[in-house]
Structure 1
């Protein structure tokens, strides 16, 4: 029991650094003053360049795991995050800092997608679903903690704030000591070498195989959902200030509440999934649609705050469901498909402002509330579509229920 708990903690701890790249965004104004001879747009890249290199290394992580094994690949990724993360705290050269931020993103991408594969290898059924939910919760918890810590350390100096990345050191130690070696060909096929932890037993417990067409459909849904989800961050504060019922501080608090909803969803995902099963996706979209409608119709900070929690909770219920779905129905392609999911997520997040502009022009939105009404309608349409798809596949649903 103790070894199992240490294994869970060690795997989940790696998620603490997954979304920490954007935590230093608050440093940009101070860094812009220090590097006054560097264009502001280039300084701003310090908070965005990790995402680009995450996409690159995520696509390569499966190849690394094939030759190095999962544990070594993840440890190397965490080590890169640790070293590159604290370089700006030690060195004041802008271009070295920029390279270190790129390496930081590359390090995160090396192990991000592999964590889901590791979870799928050691756990099965409801326990696996719960662990994937916990992973999402740990990411949300880390994002909130790291952002707060950076804000406090920033009072000393912007370089001091980069010491927050020392959190990767205990993560590295835990993963090194308590996670067994996992070779590439062991994932989904055999038990770990020590024989004490459970294998995912794909042949016995997996869902019916997920076709390429269905998987592509999930990627499209993910990109759309991410663009809509990110619109709260992009347009939320503008909505509140334009309508006169909130200010920039309220907008910042709304973003924090989204994190609260997301974190809660992660911790509760296992319980929610046991109830909703194959209808998790349409229910998530339906609830998120309600949240977007509440934002669109809001005239108070309270209503917008409630809506933010609802949207955070529903989106972070959908995302672990997608990871769990792919990990249990893709057999040998699970790690690769998980990588593609993360690529889709980062693409949706990176291009969300442009996606919002496309929606505004496509539907000729003329009011500040309009985009949220449109997004609520789109989510409701997607929810209905997925309900219909589920109802048209009763045999497959029966097989899934039997497997679970």
Structure 2
């Protein structure tokens, strides 16, 4: 098999990772279609898949010890397709939510699988570059699914769910082009523990996602509440974050090689700069610059973590380590509103602009934490 074909097969899996975003453009239409359902409950259409990723990403990590990864890909795609497409034919909102849970099961397998396959087939600088491309293709998938959901949703909210047919097409493309990687199993009778040094990476992923969701959950509040922009402007701001992630992903490998052990501290500082610009923004142009910078840091940060995890644990534990990392991120995103609510109550802060200041402080503190952690780990391994 040519390396180009192999790279296509591996990266195509990443394009399915943002499938939950299909419904974002049609949530308002779904609320109109179900007037008797509380709007907060309808918002679970977007939130439930992420919650199920938390529980099923580690399940994927465990199952790699027993099942071929192409079999796991087939199971994941079945859950993704059935859970994604079925709501197009349903009128019972409870069953629609159940299908979104099934979609979350599929995403719980697909998200760690995308990075895990790269660790199977690539090493060294090529692995770093491919992890960055994986992040970029995830961003491309997010843009692709949102555009498809918005276009199809213009014909009716239920039509948006037909966008998940893309996942079936991707599955056949991957299944036909990707070889089965050699299974890395734990020798019988031998016990392998996750090295203690990787727990700081899990914590870092957890906090980074909390910081990132401050933007996603407060951009609309700030722009609309302060009359800086309308719904279209908010959409542009969040799209620019995704575009920033796309650009960052393509250059992630080079950035890792240049910054080396300073990668994570500098990325947190760049993220803090982005939120600082957002906090001091009083024009849309300034805010757009802020979201793009935050997206750039995201596009490099996540693949850098996958690279770090893949070289920090024994080969049989790589899938599980990446799976736990995916869970840590989704836990952070799910609990971000509650964590910020506690902080705002403690310091008398408001939602909107104040949240950006919290993100600046959190980014600086995490930059210090990961810098100290890198120095401590380096001394321990010396």
TM-score, with length taken from structure 1 = 0.86
Q: State the alpha-carbon separation in 2 of the partners of residues 22 and 307 from structure 1.
A: 22
Aligned to 2:235: 252
Aligned to 2:338: 354
Deviation at 1:280, TM superposition (A): 0.8
The equivalent position to 1:307 in structure 2, one of 241, 266, 290, is: 290
Q: State the alpha-carbon separation in 2 of the partners of residues 388 and 31 from structure 1.
A: 48
Is the contact made by 1:129 and 1:270 (CA closer than 8 Å) also made in structure 2? yes
Q: Secondary structure at the match of 2:43?
A: helix
Is the contact made by 1:11 and 1:175 (CA closer than 8 Å) also made in structure 2? yes
Aligned to 2:190: none
The equivalent position to 2:358 in structure 1, one of 360, 370, 374, is: 374
Q: State the alpha-carbon separation in 1 of the partners of residues 106 and 294 from structure 2.
A: 30
Deviation at 1:393, TM superposition (A): 5.5
Aligned to 1:35: 34
Is the contact made by 1:210 and 1:326 (CA closer than 8 Å) also made in structure 2? no
CA RMSD of aligned residues (A): 2.4
Is the contact made by 1:70 and 1:183 (CA closer than 8 Å) also made in structure 2? no
1:203-236: CA deviation from partner (whole Å, max 9, x where unpaired): xxxxxx9832x32222222222211111112122
Aligned to 2:321: 337
Is the contact made by 1:74 and 1:110 (CA closer than 8 Å) also made in structure 2? yes
Q: State the alpha-carbon separation in 1 of the partners of residues 275 and 126 from structure 2.
A: 31
Aligned to 1:164: 163
Q: State the alpha-carbon separation in 2 of the partners of residues 355 and 131 from structure 1.
A: 34
2:99 aligned with 1:115, yes or no? no
Is the contact made by 2:12 and 2:137 (CA closer than 8 Å) also made in structure 1? yes
Aligned to 1:103: 102
Is the contact made by 1:89 and 1:163 (CA closer than 8 Å) also made in structure 2? yes
Deviation at 1:21, TM superposition (A): 0.9
Q: Secondary structure at the match of 1:184?
A: coil
Q: State the alpha-carbon separation in 2 of the partners of residues 220 and 333 from structure 1.
A: 18
Is the contact made by 2:52 and 2:108 (CA closer than 8 Å) also made in structure 1? yes
Aligned to 2:189: none
Q: State the alpha-carbon separation in 2 of the partners of residues 251 and 39 from structure 1.
A: 24
Deviation at 1:389, TM superposition (A): 3.9
2:362 aligned with 1:363, yes or no? no
Deviation at 1:396, TM superposition (A): 6.7
1:150-201: CA deviation from partner (whole Å, max 9, x where unpaired): 11111111121111111112211122112112353369xxxxxxxxxxxxxx
Aligned to 1:223: 206
Deviation at 1:388, TM superposition (A): 3.8
Count of aligned pairs between the two proteins: 376
Q: State the alpha-carbon separation in 2 of the partners of residues 39 and 392 from structure 1.
A: 50
- The structure, 1 or 2, with the larger RCO (C-alpha pairs under 8 Å, 6+ apart) is 2
> Kindly tell me: are residues 89 and 126 of structure 1, through their superposed partners in 2, closer, same or farther at Cα, counting changes over 3 Å?
same
> Kindly tell me: are residues 121 and 366 of structure 1, through their superposed partners in 2, closer, same or farther at Cα, counting changes over 3 Å?
closer
Is the contact made by 2:51 and 2:331 (CA closer than 8 Å) also made in structure 1? no
| Structure 1 portions without partners, runs of 5+ | 188-208, 400-404
Q: State the alpha-carbon separation in 2 of the partners of residues 339 and 368 from structure 1.
A: 32
Aligned to 2:47: 48
Aligned to 1:74: 73
Is the contact made by 1:294 and 1:307 (CA closer than 8 Å) also made in structure 2? yes
| Structure 2 portions without partners, runs of 5+ | 187-192
Is the contact made by 1:31 and 1:158 (CA closer than 8 Å) also made in structure 2? yes
1:172-321 map, 5 Å = 172-185=171-184, 211-212=195-196, 214-321=197-304
Q: State the alpha-carbon separation in 1 of the partners of residues 88 and 102 from structure 2.
A: 15
> Kindly tell me: are residues 392 and 105 of structure 1, through their superposed partners in 2, closer, same or farther at Cα, counting changes over 3 Å?
closer
Q: State the alpha-carbon separation in 1 of the partners of residues 363 and 285 from structure 2.
A: 23
Deviation at 1:62, TM superposition (A): 2.2
Q: Secondary structure at the match of 1:42?
A: helix
1:229-251: CA deviation from partner (whole Å, max 9, x where unpaired): 11112122222334443333322
Q: Secondary structure at the match of 1:349?
A: helix
Deviation at 1:302, TM superposition (A): 0.9
> Kindly tell me: are residues 240 and 161 of structure 1, through their superposed partners in 2, closer, same or farther at Cα, counting changes over 3 Å?
closer
Q: State the alpha-carbon separation in 1 of the partners of residues 292 and 142 from structure 2.
A: 16
Is the contact made by 2:249 and 2:300 (CA closer than 8 Å) also made in structure 1? yes
Aligned to 1:203: none
